Amino acid sequence: MNYNKDALIKIVKLGKPQFTFGIFMYFLIGALFALLLNAQFVLSKFIWGYLILFMASMAIHYANDYFDFEVDHYGTPTTFTGGSGILVENPELKEISKTLAVIFIILSLIIAAFFTVVFSFPISFFLFVLFGNALVWFYSAPPIKLSYRGFGEIANVINGFIMPATGYFVVMGTIDLPFIVFSIPFVFLQLLFTIGVEIPDLEGDKLGGKITWTASKGREFGFKLIGISAILATTSFLIIPFTNLIPQIIDFRILAIISLISLILGIVGLWKKPLDKKPATKLATFNVASIFAVIILINCYFIYILK
């Protein structure tokens, strides 16, 4: 099949490349945290490590648009939700979407294998990447279809660990207890993100048979969970220093203050709990956007204290 310029642009948009910036920010947090724990920075490890995550992240969108093709007919794409809308209007691109998802997953695994051998990393690193790519594929792909069986949120929460963990792993060379403790608030933030992107799609997900927590329990439940997740994220930042696992070079009070961006919006959601699609989508979009602001500011703070 020959693709003209317009088709190629649509194929690129299918992969939602704008989301790679946020994923890089998560990766960077893990890498910077490793440096704050006195890991040695190796530029080649950093670049190849991010390429592994980049390939997997691109596969997410191509795979989801392909397997969510029917569901996406019932919804309207927003800034963060509802798929790209490209396949709904251009069903002839379905197969290329699936093919690209497979190609990106294979590239992620090939680079991970290369990385493991060249840098003499433990085989656990490759298995870690393999597990992450399996989540990418089976999030919406049969026979597992996690997002259609009420397990999509769990998969996304695990991704809240995997994204910064990849950055930490490639720089530090291992995943250890200090990082696991450090990742806790980011897991809560990822849950906030997950519910935030579900809220606008509630009607479409119901009609398409997608069993999300929000589709099952309603928008009020969704905003309650967003608020609780935001509270737990900020609380986690305040509790972590008491574990004595992380050097005092990091002032977690500053991280807690930064997380107030998400907390304040989460509390607004707890208070208002809008049920109609339009106001609910607007507030949920702000909730999701707040996470990007928090991640960017934390990276800025880490870079500042590394100087």
pLDDT band at 86 (very low <50, low <70, confident <90, very high): confident
Q: Does the pLDDT at position 1 exceed 70? A: no
Distance CA 168, CA 173 (A): 8
Nearest to 76 by CA among 275, 285, 222: 285
Distance CA 171, CA 169 (A): 6
Q: Break the chain down into helix, strand, coil percent, rounded to 5.
A: 80, 0, 20
Q: Check residues 65 and 300 and name the one with the higher pLDDT.
A: 300
Lowest pLDDT segment from 28-32, 237-241, 269-273: 269-273
Mean pLDDT of 131-142: 94
Mean pLDDT estimate for the chain: 92
For the stretch 173-215, pLDDT in tens is 999 999 999 999 999 999 999 999 999 988 888 888 888 899 9
Mean pLDDT of 258-264: 97
Name 251's Cβ contacts closer than 8 Å, sequence gap at least 6.
none
DSSP 1: -
Q: What is the pTM of this model?
A: 0.92
